[in-house]
A and B are shown apart, each in its own frame.
Chain A
Amino acid sequence: MAKRIDVSDLNIYYGDFLAVADVNVSIEPRSVTALIGPSGCGKSTFLRSLNRMHEVLPGAHVEGKVAMDGQDLYGPDVDPVDVRRQIGMVFQRPNPFPTMSIYDNVAAGIRLNARKMKRTELDDLVERSLLGANLWKEVKDRLNRPASGLSGGQQQRLCIARAIAVEPDVLLMDEPASALDPISTLAIEDLMTELKERFTIVIVTHNMQQAARVSEQTGFFNIAGPGQPGRLIEFNPTEKIFSNPDEKATEDYISGRFG
């Protein structure tokens, strides 16, 4: 079930360092939202604050409000574990569990949370998730082999399968295709188009064409200089951002005239 996310006046800190300032944005359900911007401007930081992964780093904290379907995710009585169950994440670098088999990695969200499920149901879920991540054909004969034996791109798709297996409402993806070949990238993009029927998807990417191809909305983050906080400069429908952006900085960045 897709859900909308409303962010208001969000400031994100690493200790005393203000990394991202003043974000106001609404992320629509059943759509893909792309975040673009130069390296170090706080895209990953912002993404991680949406499912409260940011605060697992010592000293890291946020100010402001993030609401999912009206419910404040940072409210005093909200358990971050519950938030993360509803908002899944795929990381910039693939991180399968090295001690587990391919099968167990996909089933990890179920197994690690000790949710009971019949073996046949679980088999089904694993197959569906791997199919969804376009990995099934490559691994169906070696589901019980260790996941660390896969190539980097296969590991990344395994991580996507692992994330969608728990059926989150929202899926955050931090440069999911940066380690992938064009075919797998295309598969991931198709996957996103398919998944947005059910999930809300937020993706960080450095690939403009990818943002243009898959997303409905695009946010452009920028940073004024070293030590300055990153800011969301513009948030608009993707078509508008890529044809006729409101801000000069956005246009410069997109057309490569940056810096």
Chain B
Amino acid sequence: MSQTSAPQAPAAPSPPPTSVQPRPRLPRWATAAAFAGAAVVAVLLGVLTALNLVTFVLYTAVVGTLALWAVSRRVEGRRKAKDRLVTSLVLGAFAVTLVPLLSLVYEVVRRGVARLDGEFFNSSMVGIIGPGGGAYHAILGTLIITGLTVVMSVPIGLLTAVYLVEYGTGRLKRAITFLVDVMTGIPSIVAGLFAYALFAIFFGPGVRLGIAGAVALSVLMIPVMVRSAEEVLKLVPNELREAAYALGVPKWRTIVKVVIPTAIAGLGTSVTLAIARVIGETAPLLVTVGITNATNLDPFDGRMATLPVFAYYQLTQPGVPPEFGIDRAWTAALVLIMLVMGLNLLARLISHFFAPKTGR
């Protein structure tokens, strides 16, 4: 269909793009001012309702964000206003996530520091009723059982990951990936019952052994290890493998000498994070290792103490009067957190020192 309207005049030459024209900007103190104003408003609002810390912070955040957004929208335009709004939202979300973390750390430190003394690290619970006593046996027990877990899980997990990334194809690879996914979802108590049932076959019902605990923890740790190691190995560029093949290096040597060294920093991090995942497990150790007051360092002979189970029993059966047991429970929790933090620090150090260097 043809139109019979007069031929359109060519569009007037549009003005050159204006993107470099200066736009009005809010001064730097605008953010601070908006939130200070909001704080005042919050106090006023608080007088009407009930003012406490939570409502005060909440009012300030909401009113400040909205005020900043409105002002910015008038002065700076839509895009900049949206930027400020989203920045506030993201920072707010970050603050909200920090609240439980900080309050947890604060509470554990506040209550745990009472018994963070030499005796706690030096003595077990033999013959302790009331004050004193310590978690010497539980700390060593945790270290021994976690160590055994690492010795069992890291090779299995790493080799599985190597298989999945370097060798696996087709059905078998998909089956293994599926099973690892299923294993990731196993509730920890089920892992504990599995290990208990396994050892009960050989040692009769009621068996309690450190090694059984390590087996239970391995069931939890292996899938975590496989998954993270797999991701890390996948990051190694294929070109490096091809470079090695082109030099006539066999595949297994390429993996051992090129792929794993290139990924070593990431692998170290996976190991430490997998350890952090299992070191605080309580339920599986409760059913497989139990607890004891005396020091038992032999994972193949009877009950052992571990920090999480120690904390559990000190809290649930503190004795009379209860406060000493409860104090010990908090300190055990604090030591556990310190262990995990230490591990994370170790992971950082590993990736710092082993990461491929650029060295320009």
Contacts and interface: CB of A to CB of B under 8 A. Distances in A.
Interface in B244-285: 244-250, 253-254, 257-258, 261-262, 264
A97 B248 contact: no
| Interface size band for B | 20 to 34
Interface string B208-223: 0000000000000000
Contacts of A98: 240, 262, 356
A27 B254 CA distance: 30
A170 to B, nearest CB: 12
A43 interface: no
A146 B359 CA distance: 6
Nearest to B170: A58
B243 to A, nearest CB: 5
Contact of B358 (A88, A111, A146, A166): A146
A163 B246 contact: yes
B169 interface: yes
B356 A99 contact: yes
Contacts, number: 85
B242 A163 contact: no
A206 interface: no
Given A58-B169, A145-B359, A146-B356, A108 B247 contact: yes
Interface string A111-141: 1111000000000000000000000000000
A18 interface: no
Q: Which of B240, B245, B247 has most chain A Cβ within 10 Å?
A: B247
A148 B257 CA distance: 17
Nearest to A52: B245
A95 B245 contact: no
A113 to B, nearest CB: 6
Contacts of B360: 149
B237 interface: yes
Contacts of B262: 97-99
Contact of A163 (B247, B250, B356, B358): B247
Interface in A156-184: 159, 162-163, 166
Nearest to A56: B245
B248 A85 contact: yes
B245 to A, nearest CB: 6
B247 A112 contact: yes
A108 B243 CA distance: 10
A10 B360 CA distance: 45
Contact of A109 (B239, B248, B356, B359): B248
A96 B239 CA distance: 9
B239 A82 contact: no
A195 interface: no
Contacts of A53: 242, 245-246
A111 B359 CA distance: 22
Interface string A68-96: 00000000000001101110110101011
Contacts of A108: 244, 247
Interface string A207-244: 00000000000000000000000000000000000000
Given A84-B245, A112-B258, A146-B356, A93 B239 contact: yes
Contacts of B356: 98-99, 146, 148
| Interface size band for A | 20 to 34
A112 B257 contact: yes
A53 B254 CA distance: 14
A35 to B, nearest CB: 17
B253 A113 contact: yes
Nearest to A84: B248
A64 to B, nearest CB: 21
A201 to B, nearest CB: 15
A32 B359 CA distance: 36
A11 interface: no
A88 B242 CA distance: 11
Contacts of A93: 239
A149 B358 contact: yes
Given A93-B239, A159-B243, A148 B359 contact: yes
B358 A99 contact: no
A112 B254 CA distance: 8
Contacts of B242: 53, 56, 91, 95
Nearest to B260: A99
Contacts of B359: 145-146, 148-149
A205 interface: no
A58 B238 CA distance: 12
B235 to A, nearest CB: 12
Contacts of A250: none
Given A84-B246, A91-B242, 18 more contacts: A81-B245, A81-B250, A89-B246, A91-B243, A95-B243, A97-B262, A98-B356, A99-B261, A99-B262, A99-B356, A108-B244, A112-B247, A113-B248, A113-B249, A148-B356, A148-B357, A149-B359, A162-B243
Interface of B: 169, 237, 239-250, 253-254, 257-258, 261-262, 264, 356-360
21 contacts: A53-B245, A56-B242, A56-B245, A81-B245, A82-B248, A84-B245, A85-B248, A89-B246, A95-B237, A98-B240, A99-B261, A99-B356, A111-B257, A112-B244, A112-B249, A113-B248, A113-B253, A146-B359, A149-B358, A149-B360, A166-B247
Identify the 5 closest CB pairs spanning chains A and B, nearest first.
Answer: A85-B248, A98-B356, A95-B239, A89-B246, A109-B247
